[in-house]
């Protein structure tokens, strides 16, 4: 077998299932950020919210609610999408 590069994506997105809760998802976010991911979005379908995680944070930098919009920041420049449309 060949060698594998260890690469992290710039953006990680995951929708929480009904059996996943904040402590588990927070641990995943911290692992991804430690691995080099620059932006993590955790989507919470039940509450129609998205947690935004950034490097250096031990907690979400922000929790977006239905009236907010996802923002790609400097990771996906120019990207914006209303949460209302995401959960429609």
Does residue 45 belong to any structural domain of this protein? yes
Does residue 2 belong to any structural domain of this protein? no
Please report the DSSP string for 8-63 in residue order. --SEEEEEPPTT--HHHHHHHHHHHHHHT-SEEEEEETTTTEEEEE-TT-SS-SEE
Say which CATH number the domain at 25 has: 3.90.1570.10
Does residue 3 belong to any structural domain of this protein? no
pLDDT band at 3 (very low <50, low <70, confident <90, very high): low
How high is the pLDDT of residue 7? 83
How high is the pLDDT of residue 2? 55
The answer to whether residue 70 scores a pLDDT higher than 70 is: yes
Give pLDDT tens digits for 14-58: 999 999 888 999 999 999 999 999 999 999 999 999 999 999 999
Does residue 6 belong to any structural domain of this protein? no
Quote the number of domains for the chain: 1
Does residue 79 belong to any structural domain of this protein? yes
How high is the pLDDT of residue 13? 96
- Decide if 57 contacts 44 (C-beta within 8 A): no
Give the mean pLDDT of 77-85.
97
Domain assignment of residue 64, given as a range: 11-86
- Decide if 52 contacts 60 (C-beta within 8 A): yes
Whole-model pTM? Answer: 0.89
């Amino acid at each position: 077998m060949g060698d594998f590069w260890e690469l992290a994506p710039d953006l990680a997105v995951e929708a929480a299932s009904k059996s996943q809760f904040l402590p588990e998802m927070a641990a995943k976010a911290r692992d991804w950020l430690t691995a080099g991911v620059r932006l993590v979005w955790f989507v919470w379908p039940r509450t129609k919210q998205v947690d935004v995680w950034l490097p250096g944070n031990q907690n979400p930098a922000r929790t977006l609610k239905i009236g907010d919009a996802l923002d790609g920041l400097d990771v996906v420049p120019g990207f914006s999408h209303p949460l209302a449309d995401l959960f429609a």
